[in-house]
C-alpha cells in the first residue's frame, strides 16, 4: 500500500494471505466475481465500492462502527440533454451557472445551529430512514447521522443504502479485533472468512508531499510541514514555496481533513463560501508581504465569510 493509504494500525492486517486492496491504490482488473469480500469503512470511497461490487460478489461484509453521511442521488442526464449540451455551448454554460447558483446558495447550511442547517439535517435524516426501510429499526437508527451538516464531506452514495439491505450483504457494527490469514475477527470474537479485503479506511491528508520539494536556501517543504502542519497564504503562497493549502477550525469529530482522527490538525482550502474565496483572491494584496499593518487584525477586511452576492442571493453562479 502506498504512503497515502491509512489503515489505523489494524492488528494483523498485513498477515492476510489473500488479496488486500485499498481504495486509494485499487489494483486494476481485480476479479471479485463469486468471491467473499470484506469492505472496511463507510466513508466516501466505501459507499461507492459497496454498491458497485455487491451485484457480482458471492457475499459482502461491511465493517464500520460510526454513522453514515451520504447525501442525495446523482443527476441522471438523458441522451437528448447530453446532445443539447454538445450542440449548444451557451445552453451548457447557462446550466452550469444554474447549478453553481443552487450549490452556492446552500452555504448558510454550514452555519452551526442555523435554521438552514437544521432543515438540511431533517431532510437527510428523513431520506435515510425512507431508503433504509428494509432494515431493522434499531440498526437503522444507529446509522442515521447525528452530526451537523458540513462536519463531514457530503457524498452522493448512489445505491449504498440500498445495497446494505441486499441478501448477500451483511453490515457488521462490531469493532475489528484483528485480521488473520483467512479473515476478520471482531471484538466479540466472531470470525468472518473472506477471500478479499478492501480497506476503505482513510487517507493521509497532512499535505506533506511524498516527494522532495526544495525551496530557497534548501528549505524542505516536507520537513517543515511535518513539524508545523500545512500552512499557506490564501491557498496560493508559502514562505519560499508557492501554491499550497491553508488551515481552519471545525467541531470535535473524525474527519478526512483531520487525518481521520478527532484531534488532528485541520487542513482545508478555504473557510468561507466559494464566491467569498473568489472575491478574496481577485486582487493581490501586496501589503500583506510587508509585515506592516494599520490594524492588529490584518484579515479584518474578510468580514463575516460572505459576500453581498451571498446575502442578497443574487446570481451565485
> In angstroms, rounded to a whole number, what is the distance separating the alpha carbons of residues 38 and 50?
10
> In angstroms, rounded to a whole number, what is the distance separating the alpha carbons of residues 13 and 25?
16
Higher-confidence residue of 208 and 164: namely 164
- Name every residue whose Cβ is closer than 8 Å to that of residue 256 and which is 6 or more positions away in sequence: 43, 44, 152, 153, 202, 203, 205
Of 273, 30, 62, the residue nearest 166 (C-alpha): 62
> In angstroms, rounded to a whole number, what is the distance separating the alpha carbons of residues 163 and 47?
9
pLDDT tier at 2 (50, 70, 90 boundaries)?
very low
- Name every residue whose Cβ is closer than 8 Å to that of residue 315 and which is 6 or more positions away in sequence: 97, 101, 309
pLDDT tier at 243 (50, 70, 90 boundaries)?
very low
* pLDDT score of 1: 36
> In angstroms, rounded to a whole number, what is the distance separating the alpha carbons of residues 266 and 251?
10
Q: What percent of the chain shows pLDDT beyond 90?
A: 28
Q: Does residue 115 carry a pLDDT above 80?
A: yes
Q: What is the layout of strands, in order, in the sheet containing 176-179?
A: 176-179, 183-186, 191-193
Q: What percent of the chain shows pLDDT beyond 70?
A: 79
For domain 5-72+107-203, the CATH superfamily is FAD/NAD(P)-binding domain (3.50.50.60)
* pLDDT score of 283: 79
Determine the average pLDDT of the residues in 138-160: 75
Determine the average pLDDT of the residues in 97-106: 90
Coil, strand or helix: which one is 238? strand
* pLDDT score of 19: 93
> In angstroms, rounded to a whole number, what is the distance separating the alpha carbons of residues 213 and 31?
38
Coil, strand or helix: which one is 184? strand
* Mean pLDDT taken over the chain: 80
Domain boundaries, the chain: 5-72+107-203, 216-312
* pLDDT score of 64: 87
> In angstroms, rounded to a whole number, what is the distance separating the alpha carbons of residues 157 and 108?
23
Higher-confidence residue of 147 and 92: namely 92
Higher-confidence residue of 25 and 73: namely 25
* pLDDT score of 225: 76
* pLDDT score of 101: 93
Determine the average pLDDT of the residues in 199-213: 72
pLDDT tier at 268 (50, 70, 90 boundaries)?
low
Amino acid at each position: 500500500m502506498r504512503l497515502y493509504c491509512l489503515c489505523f494500525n489494524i492488528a494483523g492486517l498485513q498477515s492476510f494471505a489473500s488479496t488486500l486492496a485499498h481504495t486509494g491504490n485499487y489494483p486494476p482488473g481485480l476479479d471479485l466475481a463469486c468471491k467473499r469480500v470484506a469492505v472496511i469503512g463507510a466513508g466516501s470511497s466505501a459507499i461507492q465500492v459497496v454498491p458497485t461490487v455487491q451485484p457480482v460478489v458471492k457475499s459482502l461484509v461491511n465493517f464500520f462502527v460510526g454513522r453514515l453521511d451520504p447525501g442525495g442521488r446523482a443527476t441522471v442526464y438523458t441522451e437528448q440533454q447530453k446532445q443539447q449540451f454538445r450542440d449548444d455551448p451557451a445552453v451548457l454554460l447557462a446550466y452550469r451557472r444554474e447549478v453553481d447558483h443552487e450549490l452556492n446558495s446552500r452555504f448558510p447550511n454550514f452555519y452551526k445551529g442555523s435554521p438552514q442547517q437544521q432543515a438540511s439535517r431533517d431532510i437527510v435524516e428523513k431520506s435515510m430512514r425512507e431508503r433504509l426501510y428494509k432494515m431493522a429499526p434499531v440498526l437503522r437508527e444507529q446509522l442515521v447521522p447525528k452530526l451537523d451538516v458540513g462536519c463531514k464531506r457530503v457524498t452522493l452514495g448512489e445505491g449504498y443504502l440500498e445495497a446494505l439491505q441486499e441478501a448477500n450483504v451483511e453490515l457488521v457494527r462490531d469493532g475489528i479485533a484483528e485480521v488473520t490469514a483467512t479473515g476478520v475477527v471482531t471484538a466479540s470474537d466472531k470470525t468472518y472468512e473472506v477471500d478479499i479485503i478492501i480497506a476503505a479506511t482513510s487517507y493521509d491528508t497532512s499535505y506533506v508531499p511524498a516527494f522532495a520539494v526544495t525551496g530557497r536556501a534548501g528549505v524542505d517543504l516536507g520537513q517543515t510541514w511535518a513539524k508545523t502542519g500545512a500552512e499557506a497564504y490564501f491557498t496560493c503562497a508559502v514562505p519560499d514555496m508557492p501554491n499550497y493549502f491553508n488551515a481552519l477550525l471545525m467541531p470535535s469529530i473524525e474527519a478526512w481533513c483531520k487525518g481521520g482522527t478527532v484531534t488532528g490538525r485541520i487542513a482545508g482550502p478555504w473557510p468561507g463560501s466559494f464566491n467569498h474565496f473568489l472575491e478574496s483572491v481577485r486582487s493581490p494584496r501586496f501589503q500583506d508581504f510587508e509585515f506592516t499593518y494599520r490594524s492588529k487584525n490584518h484579515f479584518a477586511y474578510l468580514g463575516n465569510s460572505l459576500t453581498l452576492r451571498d446575502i442578497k442571493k443574487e446570481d451565485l453562479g
